[in-house]
Structure 1
Amino acid sequence: MLASYKRVLIIARKPDKEELVKTAKICLIGMGLIGLIGFIIYSFSILFLT
């Protein structure tokens, strides 16, 4: 079991700047979409349930 962890750590590498920026953009877009969906659901619940 520890050998597989060691192998992963040996193979793993630090991401370069381009990969890091791309990953950050994708994460921010995903969080924004989830927030927008939540806001839309909240807005509809306020409009129709009051």
Structure 2
Amino acid sequence: MTHHHHHHDHHHAPQIQALPSLLRLSAVQRLAAAGSLSVLIWLAIFWAMQ
């Protein structure tokens, strides 16, 4: 068996690697991140409708 499974650990998507750091945030920081994300989404919606 010449399969090297340990090399696949470095090829995850950045979103997967960002999840543990998001879980370490405080509740206020998570609310701020969610709020700013929803503002960005609404801005994109309004921009697309014009």
- Gap runs ≥5 in structure 1: 1-11, 41-50
Alignment partner of 1:32 is 2:42: yes
Alignment partner of 1:14 is 2:24: yes
- Provide the rounded CA distance (Å) in 2 between the counterparts of 1:29 and 1:37: 12
Give deviations 1:1-50, integer Å, cap 9, x for gaps. xxxxxxxxxxx57011000000000000000000100011xxxxxxxxxx
The sequence identity of aligned pairs, in percent, is 7
Deviating above 4 A after TM superposition, structure 1's stretches of 4 or more consecutive aligned residues are none
Instruction: Report which of the two has the higher share of helix.
Output: 1
Q: Structure with the greater relative contact order (CA < 8 A, sep ≥ 6): 1 or 2?
A: 2
- Provide the rounded CA distance (Å) in 2 between the counterparts of 1:24 and 1:39: 23
Q: How many residues align?
A: 32
- Gap runs ≥5 in structure 2: 1-20
**TM-score of the two chains, using structure 2 as the length reference:** 0.53
